[in-house]
Structure 1
Amino acid sequence: MGELRSAEASNSSSGSNAADDTPKQMLSRFYALQEERVQTYKMFEEGFLAYLQGAPNYNFPLYRQLVHEITETFNKISADILHIKSTFAEWNNLLPISEIIGKIQDAEKNKLELTAKLQLCRQKLQDENSETVQIESDEIKQQLKDNRDFLVEQMEELKFESEDLYLEDNEPETVDSTLSAER
């Protein structure tokens, strides 16, 4: 769990002033945050598996601490991504990127909720292997699969929508209409 805090500290200290960032830099930061999410999910799963191995005498206080740290990390990531989304929304020609990032953010929130539900089901299955719980678990697994498929589609859409950022070195259009009047 200490690794989580050190990863958070290094990421927050390496962030730059978003007002000075180019669209490419903002997009790179978004991808880095998505990778941080992947790593956080891995830590969450490893901690959950360790918790399950303690059955029937689960170490709930330790697991609760893990959930707290994971939640803090996901909240920080979400706040950073929402800032990136709003920054892209301020640049007129980059609004579609902002909208895609918003869809990804919503899907990630749903994924976390489904992951927590699945963990509860997995513990119930370990404690009381019932057909009802198995059906619920299978339904949640399908929802998670659908969610992952949607996330992959949106990441591909983001890649497609943002490819112009890598082809051109143009600055984003702003809301200031005086620039077009001068030309």
Structure 2
Amino acid sequence: MFHFKALIQRFYHLQSERLETYRLFEEGHEAYLRTGPQYDFDHYRQLVHEITQAFCGISNEVLQIKEKLHRDFDRPDLSEHIEKLQSKEKEKLELTAKLQLARQRAQDHPEDEDCQEKIQEIKHDIIKNKETLSEIMQDFKYDSEESD
């Protein structure tokens, strides 16, 4: 049986693992773009597979924490924050994948200005998404420390 504090710590740890996974995803994609115009797709597909598995593992554990907070600690407020967070994290992953596709398109069609515009749009959405994620984390931190 996890103590409340240990559960909260584990949650923060998983969030930082998530950020690290994004970093690897970004680096891997940049490396993939450098293999153009032939593109080493097999290598990239393997990366996407590994990243997806990492994100799934993190998500599953975060959902278990959400359940425990609700059930064992009677903290529906915290589990609600996690629910919002999960939905925004899912959106962030979708936006990140979209951005990667847009970057490849821009690299393959340097003459197409729409590509650059699309990249800027997606980047803007990612910034808004990250701001929302950060607000949710702030609320979570505030509400979880309130009970100390």
Instruction: State the TM-score, normalizing by the size of structure 2.
Output: 0.95
Matching residue of 2:132: 150
Question: Where does the alignment leave 5 or more consecutive residues of structure 1 unmatched?
Answer: 1-19, 168-183
Amino acid at match of 2:67: S
Cα distance between partner residues in 2 of 1:91 and 1:138: 44
Mapping 1:109-120, distance limit 5 Å: 109-120=90-101
Cα distance between partner residues in 2 of 1:164 and 1:142: 33
Amino acid at match of 1:128: H
**How far is the alpha carbon of 1:91 from its aligned partner?**
4.0
Cα distance between partner residues in 2 of 1:92 and 1:34: 21
Matching residue of 2:58: 77
Q: Does 1:137 align with 2:130?
A: no
Count of equivalent residues: 147
Q: Is the 8 A contact 2:81 2:140 kept in 1?
A: yes
Q: Does 1:107 align with 2:74?
A: no
Cα distance between partner residues in 1 of 2:43 and 2:141: 39
Amino acid at match of 1:79: N
**How far is the alpha carbon of 1:23 from its aligned partner?**
1.5
The DSSP-based 3-state class of the residue aligned with 1:57 is coil
The DSSP-based 3-state class of the residue aligned with 1:21 is coil
**RMSD over aligned Cα, in angstroms?**
1.1
Cα distance between partner residues in 2 of 1:99 and 1:24: 18
Question: Where does the alignment leave 5 or more consecutive residues of structure 2 unmatched?
Answer: none
Matching residue of 1:22: 3
The percentage of aligned residue pairs carrying the same residue is 46
Q: Does 1:163 align with 2:145?
A: yes
Q: Is the 8 A contact 2:11 2:65 kept in 1?
A: yes
**How far is the alpha carbon of 1:151 from its aligned partner?**
0.5
**Runs of 4+ off more than 6 Å:** none
Instruction: State the TM-score, normalizing by the size of structure 1.
Output: 0.77
Q: Is the 8 A contact 2:4 2:73 kept in 1?
A: no
